[in-house]
Amino acid sequence: MKSKPAKESYTEMNELVLPNDTNTFGNLMGGRLLYWMDICAAMAAQKHCNNVVVTASVDNVSFKRSIRLGEVVTIQAQVTRAFNTSVEVRMEIFAQNLPEGTKVKSNEAYYTFVALDEANRPIAVPALVPETEKEKLLYNEALQRRELRLLLAGKLTVDQTTEIKSLVNLFHHKG
């Protein structure tokens, strides 16, 4: 299976925040934003895998700034690392007020997707080749994020990790 550059998975999606997308305060509902993020991230994952993918996990999503009625939401997604049958996708979310000409980052998140074959069984995915310094940094940090996800999900113990165990040992030796 041929490796693929990270940039080939880049996906950008824009949505206008309409009244039915907002709560009683005129802000975009968090669930609607998560829905849009899932769609954009899935497209990035499918570009990398050339296959159908399903959402396996959603990392902590914190809302740094409310997105208002009438603003345009821009979601930028790109695969940061490929594992055996899964890929990690990083997203940055921006809110644009077109009349005012402003664009502000409101969120950042990581989603994990698993590629599936025709029988809905996990299937191997292409390796990812990071090219830029930022892509290399995100790629290297992805193993820590993956181990932490699996640890929190109860699928790994600290002793089964490499990156997390190193961090724990580092703090133990400093104390």
For position 154, what pLDDT does the model report?
Answer: 82
**Torsion sign (Cα): 147, 149, 152, 153:** negative
For position 63, what pLDDT does the model report?
Answer: 84
For position 114, what pLDDT does the model report?
Answer: 98
User: Cα(151)–Cα(34) distance, rounded to whole angstroms?
Assistant: 23
Strands in 72-82's sheet, in edge-to-edge order, are 11-16, 72-82, 86-97, 102-116, 52-58
The tens place of each residue's pLDDT in the chain, 175 residues long, gives 799 999 999 999 999 999 999 999 999 999 999 999 999 999 999 999 999 999 999 987 888 899 999 999 999 999 999 999 999 999 999 999 999 999 999 999 999 999 999 999 999 999 999 999 999 999 999 988 888 888 778 886 777 777 777 766 666 666 5
CB 93 within 8 A of CB 74: yes
| Fold designation for 4-132 | Thiol Ester Dehydrase; Chain A (3.10.129)
> Tokens for 127?
């390796």
CA neighbor of 113 nearest in space, from 43, 66, 26, 27: 43
> Tokens for 116?
């599936």
- pTM score: 0.88
